Protein backbone atom coordinates (compact mmCIF):
# COMPACT_ATOMS: atom_id res chain seq x y z
CA UNK A 1 0.00 0.00 0.00
CA UNK A 2 0.97 3.67 0.12
CA UNK A 3 3.88 4.98 2.11
CA UNK A 4 1.96 7.27 4.44
CA UNK A 5 1.17 4.37 6.79
CA UNK A 6 -2.56 5.03 7.21
CA UNK A 7 -4.74 2.62 9.07
CA UNK A 8 -6.23 -0.64 7.91
CA UNK A 9 -9.66 -1.84 9.00
CA UNK A 10 -10.11 -5.60 9.16
CA UNK A 11 -13.63 -6.82 9.85
CA UNK A 12 -13.59 -10.39 11.10
CA UNK A 13 -10.16 -9.53 12.54
CA UNK A 14 -10.70 -12.14 15.25
CA UNK A 15 -11.09 -14.88 12.66
CA UNK A 16 -8.65 -16.98 10.69
CA UNK A 17 -8.24 -14.89 7.53
CA UNK A 18 -8.81 -11.56 9.28
CA UNK A 19 -6.20 -12.17 11.97
CA UNK A 20 -3.59 -13.04 9.34
CA UNK A 21 -4.41 -9.84 7.47
CA UNK A 22 -4.21 -7.83 10.71
CA UNK A 23 -0.87 -9.39 11.62
CA UNK A 24 0.54 -8.75 8.13
CA UNK A 25 -0.25 -5.03 8.23
CA UNK A 26 0.85 -4.64 11.85
CA UNK A 27 4.23 -6.11 10.88
CA UNK A 28 4.41 -3.66 7.97
CA UNK A 29 4.03 -0.76 10.37
CA UNK A 30 0.37 0.13 9.89
CA UNK A 31 -2.17 0.96 12.54
CA UNK A 32 -4.76 -1.80 12.32
CA UNK A 33 -8.33 -1.82 13.58
CA UNK A 34 -9.53 -5.39 14.06
CA UNK A 35 -13.33 -5.41 14.23
CA UNK A 36 -15.15 -8.55 15.30
CA UNK A 37 -18.02 -9.69 17.53
CA UNK A 38 -16.31 -13.03 18.34
CA UNK A 39 -19.33 -15.04 17.23
CA UNK A 40 -17.68 -17.71 15.06
CA UNK A 41 -18.17 -20.62 17.44
CA UNK A 42 -21.66 -19.50 18.44
CA UNK A 43 -22.68 -19.32 14.76
CA UNK A 44 -21.23 -22.81 14.22
CA UNK A 45 -22.97 -24.09 17.35
CA UNK A 46 -19.65 -25.00 19.03
CA UNK A 47 -19.98 -22.89 22.16
CA UNK A 48 -17.59 -24.94 24.26
CA UNK A 49 -14.48 -23.66 22.59
CA UNK A 50 -12.39 -20.54 23.03
CA UNK A 51 -14.06 -17.82 20.94
CA UNK A 52 -11.13 -15.44 21.25
CA UNK A 53 -8.07 -17.46 20.23
CA UNK A 54 -7.09 -15.31 17.24
CA UNK A 55 -8.36 -12.19 19.00
CA UNK A 56 -6.06 -12.81 21.95
CA UNK A 57 -3.21 -13.69 19.60
CA UNK A 58 -3.40 -10.19 18.10
CA UNK A 59 -2.90 -8.75 21.60
CA UNK A 60 0.86 -9.01 21.09
CA UNK A 61 0.75 -6.22 18.48
CA UNK A 62 0.38 -2.80 20.14
CA UNK A 63 -0.53 -1.29 16.75
CA UNK A 64 -3.63 -3.51 16.49
CA UNK A 65 -6.65 -1.87 18.11
CA UNK A 66 -9.28 -4.50 18.79
CA UNK A 67 -12.83 -3.22 18.60
CA UNK A 68 -15.71 -5.51 19.52
CA UNK A 69 -18.51 -4.72 17.13
CA UNK A 70 -21.08 -6.21 14.81
CA UNK A 71 -21.14 -5.58 11.05
CA UNK A 72 -24.93 -5.40 11.32
CA UNK A 73 -24.38 -2.13 13.23
CA UNK A 74 -23.83 0.58 10.61
CA UNK A 75 -23.21 3.33 13.19
CA UNK A 76 -20.42 1.36 14.83
CA UNK A 77 -18.83 0.70 11.45
CA UNK A 78 -19.00 4.41 10.64
CA UNK A 79 -17.18 5.12 13.90
CA UNK A 80 -14.16 3.01 12.87
CA UNK A 81 -14.04 4.03 9.19
CA UNK A 82 -12.58 7.50 9.80
CA UNK A 83 -9.17 7.97 8.14
CA UNK A 84 -8.94 4.36 7.00
CA UNK A 85 -6.71 3.71 3.97
CA UNK A 86 -7.71 0.11 3.31
CA UNK A 87 -10.48 -2.25 4.36
CA UNK A 88 -10.45 -6.02 4.33
CA UNK A 89 -13.95 -7.27 5.02
CA UNK A 90 -13.58 -10.81 6.33
CA UNK A 91 -16.42 -10.91 8.89
CA UNK A 92 -19.07 -13.45 7.96
CA UNK A 93 -21.29 -16.33 8.83
CA UNK A 94 -19.07 -18.85 7.07
CA UNK A 95 -20.87 -22.19 6.91
CA UNK A 96 -23.36 -23.56 4.38
CA UNK A 97 -24.79 -25.87 7.05
CA UNK A 98 -25.50 -23.02 9.50
CA UNK A 99 -27.11 -20.99 6.70
CA UNK A 100 -29.57 -23.83 6.04
CA UNK A 101 -30.61 -23.84 9.71
CA UNK A 102 -30.85 -20.04 10.08
CA UNK A 103 -31.01 -18.29 6.70
CA UNK A 104 -32.13 -14.98 8.21
CA UNK A 105 -29.08 -14.57 10.44
CA UNK A 106 -26.91 -15.70 7.54
CA UNK A 107 -28.47 -13.02 5.32
CA UNK A 108 -28.18 -10.29 7.93
CA UNK A 109 -24.50 -10.92 8.60
CA UNK A 110 -23.32 -11.65 5.08
CA UNK A 111 -25.50 -9.52 2.83
CA UNK A 112 -26.57 -6.63 5.10
CA UNK A 113 -23.21 -6.69 6.94
CA UNK A 114 -21.34 -6.23 3.65
CA UNK A 115 -23.72 -3.50 2.51
CA UNK A 116 -23.04 -1.74 5.83
CA UNK A 117 -19.26 -1.94 5.36
CA UNK A 118 -19.59 -0.42 1.88
CA UNK A 119 -22.04 2.21 3.04
CA UNK A 120 -19.83 3.22 5.99
CA UNK A 121 -16.93 3.59 3.53
CA UNK A 122 -19.08 5.67 1.16
CA UNK A 123 -20.33 7.94 3.95
CA UNK A 124 -16.80 8.46 5.28
CA UNK A 125 -15.95 10.21 2.00
CA UNK A 126 -12.46 8.76 2.27
CA UNK A 127 -10.81 6.88 -0.56
CA UNK A 128 -10.09 3.55 1.06
CA UNK A 129 -9.54 0.54 -1.17
CA UNK A 130 -11.78 -2.35 -0.14
CA UNK A 131 -11.34 -6.11 -0.39
CA UNK A 132 -14.38 -8.28 0.24
CA UNK A 133 -14.05 -11.99 0.98
CA UNK A 134 -16.42 -13.76 -1.38
CA UNK A 135 -16.57 -17.43 -2.21
CA UNK A 136 -16.65 -20.02 -4.98
CA UNK A 137 -20.16 -20.83 -3.71
CA UNK A 138 -21.46 -17.86 -5.74
CA UNK A 139 -21.25 -20.18 -8.78
CA UNK A 140 -23.58 -22.63 -7.02
CA UNK A 141 -24.44 -26.02 -8.42
CA UNK A 142 -23.75 -24.88 -12.00
CA UNK A 143 -20.23 -26.10 -11.30
CA UNK A 144 -21.66 -29.62 -11.15
CA UNK A 145 -22.84 -29.30 -14.76
CA UNK A 146 -19.27 -29.19 -15.97
CA UNK A 147 -18.21 -32.61 -17.21
CA UNK A 148 -15.98 -34.50 -14.82
CA UNK A 149 -13.81 -37.57 -15.06
CA UNK A 150 -13.76 -39.92 -12.08
CA UNK A 151 -10.32 -41.20 -11.26
CA UNK A 152 -8.96 -43.45 -8.56
CA UNK A 153 -8.74 -40.85 -5.80
CA UNK A 154 -10.23 -37.70 -7.31
CA UNK A 155 -12.54 -36.08 -9.81
CA UNK A 156 -11.11 -33.89 -12.55
CA UNK A 157 -12.75 -31.37 -14.89
CA UNK A 158 -13.03 -32.73 -18.40
CA UNK A 159 -12.03 -30.51 -21.33
CA UNK A 160 -13.15 -26.88 -21.33
CA UNK A 161 -12.51 -26.02 -17.68
CA UNK A 162 -9.28 -27.90 -17.13
CA UNK A 163 -7.66 -24.60 -15.93
CA UNK A 164 -10.58 -24.03 -13.54
CA UNK A 165 -13.65 -21.81 -13.23
CA UNK A 166 -13.24 -18.26 -14.57
CA UNK A 167 -14.98 -15.10 -13.32
CA UNK A 168 -17.54 -15.08 -16.18
CA UNK A 169 -18.85 -18.57 -15.32
CA UNK A 170 -22.71 -18.47 -15.17
CA UNK A 171 -24.30 -17.91 -11.78
CA UNK A 172 -27.99 -18.07 -12.74
CA UNK A 173 -30.49 -20.96 -12.88
CA UNK A 174 -28.94 -23.11 -10.19
CA UNK A 175 -29.05 -23.91 -6.50
CA UNK A 176 -26.78 -21.81 -4.29
CA UNK A 177 -27.92 -22.58 -0.71
CA UNK A 178 -28.72 -19.60 1.56
CA UNK A 179 -24.98 -19.07 2.22
CA UNK A 180 -24.29 -18.92 -1.52
CA UNK A 181 -27.13 -16.40 -1.93
CA UNK A 182 -26.07 -14.11 0.92
CA UNK A 183 -22.46 -14.15 -0.27
CA UNK A 184 -23.56 -13.53 -3.86
CA UNK A 185 -25.67 -10.56 -2.73
CA UNK A 186 -22.60 -9.23 -0.92
CA UNK A 187 -20.46 -9.83 -4.00
CA UNK A 188 -22.92 -7.91 -6.21
CA UNK A 189 -23.07 -4.99 -3.79
CA UNK A 190 -19.27 -4.78 -3.81
CA UNK A 191 -19.29 -4.63 -7.61
CA UNK A 192 -22.14 -2.15 -7.60
CA UNK A 193 -20.62 0.23 -5.05
CA UNK A 194 -17.50 0.26 -7.22
CA UNK A 195 -19.52 1.11 -10.36
CA UNK A 196 -22.20 3.37 -8.87
CA UNK A 197 -20.23 5.22 -6.21
CA UNK A 198 -16.69 4.87 -7.54
CA UNK A 199 -15.35 2.93 -4.54
CA UNK A 200 -12.13 1.08 -5.28
CA UNK A 201 -13.58 -2.26 -4.21
CA UNK A 202 -12.98 -5.84 -5.28
CA UNK A 203 -14.67 -9.10 -4.40
CA UNK A 204 -12.30 -12.02 -4.05
CA UNK A 205 -14.16 -15.26 -4.77
CA UNK A 206 -12.11 -17.53 -2.61
CA UNK A 207 -11.76 -21.27 -2.79
CA UNK A 208 -10.38 -23.21 0.21
CA UNK A 209 -7.91 -21.26 2.28
CA UNK A 210 -5.90 -22.96 5.00
CA UNK A 211 -3.01 -22.40 7.35
CA UNK A 212 -1.94 -21.83 10.92
CA UNK A 213 -4.59 -20.58 13.38
CA UNK A 214 -7.47 -22.00 11.36
CA UNK A 215 -9.86 -23.48 13.86
CA UNK A 216 -11.62 -25.82 11.47
CA UNK A 217 -14.79 -27.67 12.37
CA UNK A 218 -16.74 -30.24 10.39
CA UNK A 219 -18.86 -27.49 8.81
CA UNK A 220 -16.07 -25.14 7.78
CA UNK A 221 -12.31 -25.19 7.36
CA UNK A 222 -11.94 -28.82 6.28
CA UNK A 223 -8.15 -28.99 6.02
CA UNK A 224 -7.68 -27.82 9.62
CA UNK A 225 -10.60 -29.96 10.76
CA UNK A 226 -9.16 -33.14 9.16
CA UNK A 227 -5.73 -32.35 10.65
CA UNK A 228 -7.16 -31.76 14.13
CA UNK A 229 -9.33 -34.86 14.06
CA UNK A 230 -6.45 -37.04 12.82
CA UNK A 231 -4.10 -35.84 15.54
CA UNK A 232 -6.75 -36.33 18.24
CA UNK A 233 -7.97 -39.68 16.84
CA UNK A 234 -11.53 -38.37 16.35
CA UNK A 235 -13.78 -39.74 13.61
CA UNK A 236 -14.01 -37.85 10.31
CA UNK A 237 -17.19 -38.16 8.24
CA UNK A 238 -16.71 -37.95 4.49
CA UNK A 239 -19.92 -36.86 2.75
CA UNK A 240 -19.89 -38.44 -0.71
CA UNK A 241 -17.00 -40.41 -2.17
CA UNK A 242 -14.07 -38.41 -0.80
CA UNK A 243 -12.94 -37.79 -4.36
CA UNK A 244 -14.16 -34.17 -4.17
CA UNK A 245 -11.41 -31.82 -5.28
CA UNK A 246 -10.68 -28.24 -4.27
CA UNK A 247 -7.88 -25.90 -5.12
CA UNK A 248 -6.25 -24.96 -1.85
CA UNK A 249 -4.53 -21.71 -1.00
CA UNK A 250 -2.13 -21.09 1.86
CA UNK A 251 -3.31 -18.09 3.88
CA UNK A 252 -0.08 -16.11 3.41
CA UNK A 253 -0.58 -16.29 -0.35
CA UNK A 254 -4.15 -15.00 0.04
CA UNK A 255 -2.94 -12.02 2.08
CA UNK A 256 -0.38 -11.29 -0.66
CA UNK A 257 -3.21 -11.16 -3.25
CA UNK A 258 -5.18 -8.73 -1.06
CA UNK A 259 -2.09 -6.56 -0.59
CA UNK A 260 -1.56 -6.49 -4.33
CA UNK A 261 -5.02 -5.03 -4.93
CA UNK A 262 -4.86 -2.70 -1.92
CA UNK A 263 -1.53 -1.31 -3.06
CA UNK A 264 -3.05 -0.22 -6.36
CA UNK A 265 -2.70 -3.15 -8.75
CA UNK A 266 -5.71 -4.42 -10.70
CA UNK A 267 -9.15 -2.98 -11.26
CA UNK A 268 -12.27 -3.01 -9.09
CA UNK A 269 -14.43 -6.04 -9.82
CA UNK A 270 -14.20 -9.74 -9.08
CA UNK A 271 -11.24 -12.08 -8.81
CA UNK A 272 -11.31 -15.84 -8.48
CA UNK A 273 -8.64 -16.65 -5.97
CA UNK A 274 -7.31 -19.99 -4.86
CA UNK A 275 -4.41 -22.32 -5.40
CA UNK A 276 -5.53 -22.76 -9.01
CA UNK A 277 -5.10 -25.87 -11.14
CA UNK A 278 -1.57 -26.55 -9.87
CA UNK A 279 -2.46 -26.61 -6.15
CA UNK A 280 -5.39 -28.97 -5.69
CA UNK A 281 -6.25 -31.74 -3.24
CA UNK A 282 -9.02 -34.31 -2.98
CA UNK A 283 -10.30 -35.27 0.46
CA UNK A 284 -8.77 -38.72 0.06
CA UNK A 285 -5.42 -37.22 -0.93
CA UNK A 286 -5.40 -34.97 2.13
CA UNK A 287 -6.15 -37.96 4.36
CA UNK A 288 -3.15 -39.80 2.88
CA UNK A 289 -0.96 -36.76 3.40
CA UNK A 290 -2.08 -36.48 7.02
CA UNK A 291 -1.35 -40.14 7.67
CA UNK A 292 2.17 -39.66 6.36
CA UNK A 293 2.78 -36.47 8.35
CA UNK A 294 1.31 -37.62 11.65
CA UNK A 295 1.95 -41.37 11.55
CA UNK A 296 -1.74 -41.82 12.51
CA UNK A 297 -4.42 -43.36 10.34
CA UNK A 298 -7.43 -41.02 10.18
CA UNK A 299 -10.60 -42.73 11.37
CA UNK A 300 -13.05 -42.28 8.51
CA UNK A 301 -16.73 -43.04 8.06
CA UNK A 302 -18.90 -42.18 5.06
CA UNK A 303 -22.22 -40.30 4.76
CA UNK A 304 -24.45 -39.14 1.87
CA UNK A 305 -23.62 -36.10 -0.28
CA UNK A 306 -24.24 -32.69 1.32
CA UNK A 307 -26.64 -30.23 -0.27
CA UNK A 308 -25.15 -28.37 -3.23
CA UNK A 309 -21.66 -29.77 -2.61
CA UNK A 310 -19.47 -29.22 -5.64
CA UNK A 311 -17.78 -32.44 -6.79
CA UNK A 312 -14.88 -30.38 -7.96
CA UNK A 313 -14.10 -26.73 -7.71
CA UNK A 314 -10.87 -25.26 -9.01
CA UNK A 315 -10.38 -21.51 -9.48
CA UNK A 316 -9.06 -20.24 -12.77
CA UNK A 317 -6.62 -17.67 -11.37
CA UNK A 318 -5.46 -16.25 -14.72
CA UNK A 319 -7.06 -12.85 -14.07
CA UNK A 320 -5.48 -12.49 -10.61
CA UNK A 321 -2.13 -13.62 -12.00
CA UNK A 322 -2.22 -11.08 -14.77
CA UNK A 323 -3.89 -8.09 -13.13
CA UNK A 324 -2.47 -8.42 -9.63
CA UNK A 325 0.97 -9.75 -10.67
CA UNK A 326 0.29 -12.44 -8.12
CA UNK A 327 1.13 -16.11 -7.88
CA UNK A 328 0.35 -18.70 -5.21
CA UNK A 329 3.71 -19.83 -3.87
CA UNK A 330 3.23 -22.30 -1.02
CA UNK A 331 2.61 -25.80 -2.37
CA UNK A 332 0.04 -27.96 -0.55
CA UNK A 333 2.82 -30.36 0.57
CA UNK A 334 4.56 -27.48 2.39
CA UNK A 335 1.41 -25.66 3.55
CA UNK A 336 -0.17 -28.79 5.03
CA UNK A 337 3.08 -29.54 6.85
CA UNK A 338 2.90 -26.06 8.47
CA UNK A 339 -0.77 -26.55 9.31
CA UNK A 340 -0.10 -29.92 10.96
CA UNK A 341 2.78 -28.50 13.01
CA UNK A 342 0.50 -25.74 14.28
CA UNK A 343 -2.43 -28.07 14.99
CA UNK A 344 -0.13 -30.45 16.85
CA UNK A 345 0.98 -27.75 19.26
CA UNK A 346 -2.57 -26.45 19.69
CA UNK A 347 -4.48 -29.71 19.77
CA UNK A 348 -6.42 -28.67 22.90
CA UNK A 349 -8.41 -26.21 20.76
CA UNK A 350 -9.56 -29.02 18.52
CA UNK A 351 -10.58 -31.20 21.42
CA UNK A 352 -13.37 -28.71 22.20
CA UNK A 353 -14.62 -28.13 18.63
CA UNK A 354 -14.40 -31.71 17.38
CA UNK A 355 -17.48 -33.61 16.36
N1 LIG B 1 -11.51 -20.00 5.00
C2 LIG B 1 -11.92 -20.33 3.79
O3 LIG B 1 -11.54 -21.34 3.25
C4 LIG B 1 -12.88 -19.42 3.04
C5 LIG B 1 -13.26 -19.79 1.74
C6 LIG B 1 -14.13 -18.95 1.04
C7 LIG B 1 -14.57 -17.78 1.61
N8 LIG B 1 -14.20 -17.46 2.87
C9 LIG B 1 -14.68 -16.19 3.44
O10 LIG B 1 -13.59 -15.51 4.03
C11 LIG B 1 -14.01 -14.77 5.16
C12 LIG B 1 -13.17 -15.15 6.37
O13 LIG B 1 -13.34 -16.53 6.66
P14 LIG B 1 -12.53 -17.24 7.83
O15 LIG B 1 -12.18 -18.59 7.35
O16 LIG B 1 -11.49 -16.35 8.34
O17 LIG B 1 -13.70 -17.43 8.91
P18 LIG B 1 -13.69 -17.11 10.48
O19 LIG B 1 -14.98 -17.61 11.03
O20 LIG B 1 -12.44 -17.58 11.10
O21 LIG B 1 -13.71 -15.51 10.52
C22 LIG B 1 -14.89 -14.77 10.41
C23 LIG B 1 -14.96 -13.83 11.60
O24 LIG B 1 -16.12 -13.01 11.46
C25 LIG B 1 -16.64 -12.80 12.75
N26 LIG B 1 -18.05 -12.42 12.64
C27 LIG B 1 -19.11 -13.20 12.35
N28 LIG B 1 -20.24 -12.49 12.37
C29 LIG B 1 -19.88 -11.21 12.67
C30 LIG B 1 -20.60 -10.02 12.83
N31 LIG B 1 -21.92 -10.00 12.70
N32 LIG B 1 -19.93 -8.88 13.12
C33 LIG B 1 -18.57 -8.90 13.28
N34 LIG B 1 -17.84 -10.02 13.14
C35 LIG B 1 -18.48 -11.16 12.83
C36 LIG B 1 -16.45 -14.11 13.48
O37 LIG B 1 -16.46 -13.94 14.88
C38 LIG B 1 -15.08 -14.54 12.95
O39 LIG B 1 -14.04 -14.12 13.81
C40 LIG B 1 -15.52 -15.05 5.27
O41 LIG B 1 -16.19 -14.04 4.56
C42 LIG B 1 -15.70 -16.36 4.54
O43 LIG B 1 -17.00 -16.51 4.05
C44 LIG B 1 -13.37 -18.25 3.60
pLDDT tens, 52-74? 999 999 999 999 999 999 999 99
Minimum CA distance residue for ligand 1 atom 30? 70
For residue 1, being part of any structural domain is answered with no
Which amino acids bring their CB within 6 angstroms of ligand 1?
12, 14-18, 36-40, 70-72, 90-94, 109, 113, 133, 135, 206, 208-209, 221
Q: Is 81 a domain residue?
A: yes
User: The domain spanning residue 128 has which CATH number?
Assistant: 3.40.50.720
In a domain, 18, yes or no: yes
| C-beta separation of 223 from 214 below 8 A | yes
Is the predicted pLDDT of residue 3 greater than 80, yes or no? no
14 belongs to a structural domain = yes
Q: Residue 329 and residue 253: Cα distance in Å, rounded?
A: 7
Range of the domain at 232: 7-353
Q: Which whole-number Å values give the CA distances from 302 to 226, 238, 239, 243, 324, in the listed order? A: 14, 5, 6, 12, 40
Instruction: Look up residue 220 and give its DSSP letter.
Output: B
The answer to whether position 129 is within a domain reads yes
Q: Mutation test of ligand 1: which of 92, 93, 274 has the most ligand atoms closer than 8 Å to its C-beta?
A: 92
Residue from 34, 94, 202 whose mutation best tests the ligand 1 pocket (most atoms within 8 A of CB): 94
**pLDDT the model gives residue 108:** 98
- For residue 207, the surrounding DSSP H or E stretch is none
Contact between residue 13 and residue 90 where contact means Cβ atoms under 8 Å apart = yes
Q: Which atom of ligand 1 is nearest to the CA of 208?
A: 3
Question: Taking the model in full, what pTM does it have?
Answer: 0.97
Mean pLDDT of the chain: 94
Reply yes or no on whether the pLDDT at 292 is more than 60. Answer: yes
Domain count for the chain: 1
Q: Distance, CA 169 to ligand 1 centroid (Å)?
A: 24
Tell me, yes or no, whether 2 lies in a domain.
no
Kindly provide the b/e burial profile for residues 137-167, where b requires at least 16 CB atoms within 10 angstroms of the residue's own CB.
bbbbbbbbebebeeeeebbbbeeebeebbeb
The residue ranking higher by pLDDT, 217 or 326, is: 326
Tell me the CA distances in angstroms from 124 to 99, 194, 203, 259, 273, one per residue in order: 31, 15, 20, 22, 29
- Answer whether 104's CB lies under 8 Å from 26's CB: no
Amino acid sequence: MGHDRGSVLVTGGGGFVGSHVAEFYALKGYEVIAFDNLSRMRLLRRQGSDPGFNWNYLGKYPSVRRVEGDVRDLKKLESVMEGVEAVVHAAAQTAVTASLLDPVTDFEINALGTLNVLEAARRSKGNASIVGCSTNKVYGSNVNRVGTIEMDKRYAFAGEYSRGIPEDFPIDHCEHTPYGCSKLAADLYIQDYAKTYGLRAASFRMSCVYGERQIGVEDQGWLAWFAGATILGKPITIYGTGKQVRDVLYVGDLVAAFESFLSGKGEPGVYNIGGGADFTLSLLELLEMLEELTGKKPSVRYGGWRQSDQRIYVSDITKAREQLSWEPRVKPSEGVKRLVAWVRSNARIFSTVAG
